[in-house]
Structure 1
Amino acid sequence: MATAQTICYRSDSYRNWVRGSVGLGYLQEGLQVFAETIVQTEHRNILQRIGKCGKCSIESIMPAHAKQGHCIQKNRRRCNCTKKGNIYCAVCSKTYDEIIIQHRFIDPNWEIDSAGLFSDHWQFAKCFMTTTKKESNNTAAETDAACLLSIIINGNFFQAELDTIIDGENDIFSQAKKVRNAILHSSKLELTEDEVTEYLKTMIDVLQDRKVLMNDKAAQTAVTKITYIMNTKFVITTGIEKSAIESAQRSIKGTGELCENGLKELTSQSLAEISRAKEDAIDEIEKNKPKDRNASGAGIAIGQDTKTKEQ
């Protein structure tokens, strides 16, 4: 089967890119439980403090701060206080303001399913994602590393659970988000050995934050996996390769749908280049399949026994 074949014949720089993409998957696994636990706690605290409604939609709420005559959201054009005809609700209007206040950059994302805001903690979490859509990222499990990092960076309520001081630019979590973008927005699908090593180390540093993550089981399991692919050569199956390329495509598409007009042309160009790279990669895989079923290359495949070392 094609998914059992390896891509040892591919360039080292391309294999490094696949390693970086695999590392991002492990980073997502390591952050998921931590992020969801903190979000659940904060969501519950807000409901206990302000109350529940569930009848209003985000689009129809008039924020509580509208009565003060000035907007508290950074991007005023995205705030409901500028809309005529919106309705004040004793619960929803205060919750709207609370979400703005809890956002590090006072600029929440309102592309959420407002019907679930009071019953579903992950709709609350989506307010702290930099980019998302109503129909995507609706559970922690389906939320990628970039969005999990955005929630942690943008949600002020995460700071108490971190040893790292988040500044939104130079802290390790913000650096990890830049690493993710560098890997998945790479149209050439190539990384040097130094680049992939640096990127994987950044992921490990995130998961070893000394306050909570250092003792989080899922985070430390992910550290073990990332450390392995950083220090050990392994066989990358064509299934893993295809998954890595498709992950990059989904990332570019997701960004393109929400990016500013000035970036759309660049995004479309990158997406086209990745699509061509995918077609070329799959064609080459088919042409270079080992005829001997035992000629699977040196090393081990992800998901196999990690005790088997490269020969």
Structure 2
Amino acid sequence: MDIHLFFLTLLSLIFLTTLKTKEYLIYSIKRMFLTLNNIQENWLKAVVAGGYTRACLISLVKTDINQFHSDAGNYVENKQRTTAHKQVETNCSSCKSLADVLECPTNGYCKGKPCTLHAGKRVDINHACVILMQYIVKNHKHCRPSWKNTDVTHWGSDPWSLAGCFLPRDGYEGANTAEDTDLNGFLSVILNCEIFKQYVNDWEKPDNICEKARKALNKFRHSPTMSLSDEELTDYIGTLKNHLENSGPLKKLPDVQDAVLKLSKLEK
């Protein structure tokens, strides 16, 4: 039943019943309003909890993606030195699209038969961006990067362009910087990029503590009622805290310790 219709029905009953029944109905309505206020307050607390968690992870994710970008550049240089490639390219500017880098067909990128994106293009396997692409695939937990979220023309100069490969496939086309990326995006990068393995004790497991935090977040985000019970709020905040406190390198970070304290206060 629609909540507004429900309350209208209760109000109608007040005028049609005895005094004693009226008093009981009024008491019941007050209790319902208090409950509604509580679950709405819980929803707002959950929003704040997500904000605290995102804020404590942004610096970590940016720093490690910068390191990943540097490691990738070194990998490309070393790989080219051991091949017959004519020169070492550290900052390619010749690739105009992923069709210059990815073999055809590539799941999640190629379209049509024959592929309208490649249109007969052939890839030089010793090209810097091709080697970098292979490094990205190698370091993706499932070897299935999100190619639609990255721009190959920025690979040499912008570390976050590589982070896009580890974001969810849908909903992140405009996440061109860490500041544009939400908590679900950060958790996905941590889950998918091997450089973050040290921050999740059970990273290799499909349902690890970080994945549980991501699932809890998405369950909250996609709730049609925009409400949470006390128990649901406690479970949600507890799951976020478990993720932040699950490994030594993560829980030692000052930003993370501050976030855990703030999350604990929200639970009370």
State if a TM-score over 0.5 links the two structures. Answer: yes
Q: Distance in 1 between matches of 2:257 and 2:69?
A: 26
Query: What secondary structure sits across from 1:52 in the alignment?
Result: coil
Q: Distance in 2 between matches of 1:9 and 1:133?
A: 34
Q: Which amino acid is 1:228 matched to?
A: K
CA RMSD in angstroms, aligned pairs only: 2.6
Gaps of 5+ in 1: 1-6, 232-311
Q: Which residue of 2 aligns with 1:42?
A: 68
Gaps of 5+ in 2: 1-32, 77-89
Q: How far 1:59 sits from its partner (Å)?
A: 2.7
1:220 aligned to 2:257?
yes
Q: Which residue of 2 aligns with 1:86?
A: 121
Q: Which residue of 2 aligns with 1:60?
A: 99
1:176 aligned to 2:213?
yes
Map 1:106-255 onto structure 2 (within 5 A): 106-111=143-148, 112-132=150-170, 136-159=174-197, 161-167=198-204, 169-231=206-268
CA-to-aligned-CA distance 1:239-291 (integer Å, 9 cap, x gap): xxxxxxxxxxxxxxxxxxxxxxxxxxxxxxxxxxxxxxxxxxxxxxxxxxxxx
Q: Which amino acid is 2:109 matched to?
A: R
Q: Which amino acid is 2:47 matched to?
A: S
Q: Distance in 2 between matches of 1:115 and 1:77?
A: 19
Query: What secondary structure sits across from 1:103 in the alignment?
Result: coil
Q: Which amino acid is 1:221 matched to?
A: D
Q: How far 1:38 sits from its partner (Å)?
A: 1.2
Are the aligned partners of 1:131 and 1:147 in contact in 2 as well (CA < 8 Å)? no
The higher relative CO (CA closer than 8 Å, separation ≥ 6) is in 1
Q: Which amino acid is 1:220 matched to?
A: Q
Q: Distance in 1 between matches of 2:229 and 2:172?
A: 37
Q: Distance in 2 between matches of 1:123 and 1:11?
A: 43
The range that moved more, 45-54 or 189-198, is 45-54
Q: Distance in 2 between matches of 1:49 and 1:167?
A: 23
Map 1:12-51 onto structure 2 (within 5 A): 12-50=38-76, 51=90
What is the percentage of aligned positions where both structures have the same residue? 24
Query: What secondary structure sits across from 2:166 in the alignment?
Result: coil
Q: How far 1:16 sits from its partner (Å)?
A: 1.0
